[in-house]
Structure 1
Amino acid sequence: MNILNVLLILFIGTFAGFINVVAGGGSLLTLPMLIFLGLPSAVANGTNRVALTMQNIIAIWNFKRKGFFDYKLGITLSIPAVLGSIVGSRIAISIPDEVFNKILAVVMFIIIFTLIKKPKKKAEDVEEELTKKKKIILGITFFFMGIYGGLLQAGTGFIIITSLTLLSSLSLVSINSIKVIVTFFYVLSSLVVFIISGNVDWIFGLVLAVGNGIGGYLGSNFSINKGDVWIKRVLIVMVSVMAIKLLFGW
């Protein structure tokens, strides 16, 4: 690893950590970057989770410090997500690089479409208690989200935001605080699977963790509504370029 790679990882990691907490989709930048820097897809997948773990620890601490910390709902939804992530991680380890890259590219294009079409959360929405039925639906949803997160991780923030937006009237800030709790637990469980299988590059992972940690702190401090428009534009452009490169290999 040379100094240019270190600076690139820190820059992309900080930006990715920021948008991961504010909205989601940061792994759509960090995962392809690690692959482009020469890591096999399974190793890039596992290495990315080292940084995500650090990012979410810092974000959880900051959300809690500012009074946004629904640990009960966060832990409840984390349980099925963790179970799903273990399943997804084992699948990810066995997938050939070429197949993984094509799947990731397709997912990127789907996320771009979701970004463009996703409605903005109304500021006047109020908090409400989730019914038992909605909690069951969320539990099932988060199990399959965990499978996807263990397999790819990229874009799971959007899935969490969309699920909680459709099934509750929680504010977007509260949803994001729950998102970082759930993400921490299922990413940590999937990281164990990647570590045991030897699919983690610790040098890349620790450098990226510094960037993601800084971004997680900045993102949890940032007003979501103010940053939404320009983050979407930049993300759409960068993800489009990376998806085309992964898909066509140029």
Structure 2
Amino acid sequence: MEIAIVLIAGIVSGFVNVVGGGGSLISLPVLIFLGLPSAVANGTNRVALMVQSLVAIGYFKNKGYFYPKLSVLLGIPALAGSIVGAKFAISLSDQMFNRVLAIVMLVVLVLIILRPEKMFLSQAKGEDLSKARLFIAALVFFGVGFYGGFIQAGIGFIIIAALALITGLSLVKINSLKVAVTLIYMSSSLLVFIISGKVDWILGFILAAGNALGAYLGGIFTVSGGDKWIRIFLVVTVSLMAAKLLGLHNLLL
């Protein structure tokens, strides 16, 4: 039953991550609810995210959406930030991390409903990859990396909004960059968790198998377009999981 739950959570989170972001809002709480300490759940989740990113990059590359130079430019500061963020995550107690995760989930829930990144995309006046814009993006992505190394959940919304506002790239191009940059900084944050012994490899690879399938399906869905029904699913699911993490689930029964 545990294997089936983790596998299904992986498929759903991998799909949602590639389509727009927020997949870790599903997989990370599921690992915690199965009894893993928060730091171990956080580290284990990253094994799957690495695999998912590799699969998604391969799909986008085959479709002609692959930008290695820009990915590295944004990925290097993100990598540095993720090391700091991962160390901070490991230092927190389970109770504190779960509370922070629940609050983050509720904040991302608001982003899912309001869709601020859609506003940024609509206001874009075309691509602007000037040196000044890229410098600003590099600074912002250090913060993106810190958050990704710390908790990761909902990082897709942050990346989409940031790149839309700073560079004016299209959503498909941004999604391609998102998975590439995630792969770069995820490698360093995962290493921090591995060194600290905070990874359950068996559950990590099971989750990764689900994420790989979900990421592939998500890549197809992203290129073809459309994601309204996914938001409805996330609103319901994330609300229930956040309530449980905050200890409020009994009030809902």
Q: How much does 1:5 deviate?
A: 1.4
Paired residues of 1:81 and 1:182 also in contact (CA < 8 A): yes
- Give distance in 2, aligned partners of 1:127 and 1:5: 47
Paired residues of 2:51 and 2:212 also in contact (CA < 8 A): yes
1:55-204 to structure 2, matched below 5 A, reads 55-119=52-116, 120=118, 128-204=127-203
2:19 aligns to what?
Answer: 22
Q: Residues 56-79 of structure 1: CA distance to partner in whole angstroms, max 9, x if unpaired? A: 000001100110001111110000
Moved over 6 A (4+): 123-126
- Counterpart of 1:112, as a letter, is L
Q: SS at 2:227's partner residue? A: helix
Paired residues of 2:18 and 2:222 also in contact (CA < 8 A): no
Paired residues of 2:124 and 2:165 also in contact (CA < 8 A): no
- Counterpart of 1:196, as a letter, is I
Could you say if the C-alpha distance between residues 112 and 225 of structure 1 is closer, same or farther in structure 2, counting changes exceeding 3 Å? Answer: farther
- Counterpart of 1:95, as a letter, is L
Paired residues of 1:123 and 1:171 also in contact (CA < 8 A): no
Paired residues of 1:13 and 1:215 also in contact (CA < 8 A): yes
- Give distance in 1, aligned partners of 2:78 and 2:15: 22
- Give distance in 2, aligned partners of 1:193 and 1:15: 26
1:227 aligns to what?
Answer: 226
Could you say if the C-alpha distance between residues 179 and 89 of structure 1 is closer, same or farther in structure 2, counting changes exceeding 3 Å? Answer: same
- Give distance in 2, aligned partners of 1:178 and 1:27: 18
- Counterpart of 1:240, as a letter, is S
- Counterpart of 1:238, as a letter, is T
Could you say if the C-alpha distance between residues 249 and 117 of structure 1 is closer, same or farther in structure 2, counting changes exceeding 3 Å? Answer: closer
- Give distance in 1, aligned partners of 2:149 and 2:162: 18
1:206 aligns to what?
Answer: 205
Could you say if the C-alpha distance between residues 16 and 79 of structure 1 is closer, same or farther in structure 2, counting changes exceeding 3 Å? Answer: same
Q: SS at 2:66's partner residue? A: coil
- Counterpart of 1:205, as a letter, is G
- Counterpart of 1:116, as a letter, is I
RMSD of aligned alpha carbons: 1.7
Query: Where in structure 2 are there 5+ consecutive unaligned residues?
Result: none
Q: How much does 1:11 deviate?
A: 1.1
Q: TM-score, normalised by structure 1?
A: 0.94
Query: Where in structure 1 are there 5+ consecutive unaligned residues?
Result: none
Q: Residues 42-97 of structure 1: CA distance to partner in whole angstroms, max 9, x if unpaired? A: 00000000000000000001100110001111110000000000000111111000
- Corresponding residue pairs, total: 247
Q: How much does 1:168 deviate?
A: 2.1
Paired residues of 1:127 and 1:170 also in contact (CA < 8 A): yes
- Counterpart of 2:2, as a letter, is N
Q: How much does 1:170 deviate?
A: 1.1
- Give distance in 1, aligned partners of 2:52 and 2:182: 10
- Give distance in 2, aligned partners of 1:91 and 1:223: 33
2:28 aligns to what?
Answer: 31
Paired residues of 2:50 and 2:187 also in contact (CA < 8 A): yes
Q: Residues 153-185 of structure 1: CA distance to partner in whole angstroms, max 9, x if unpaired? A: 111111100101111221100000000000011
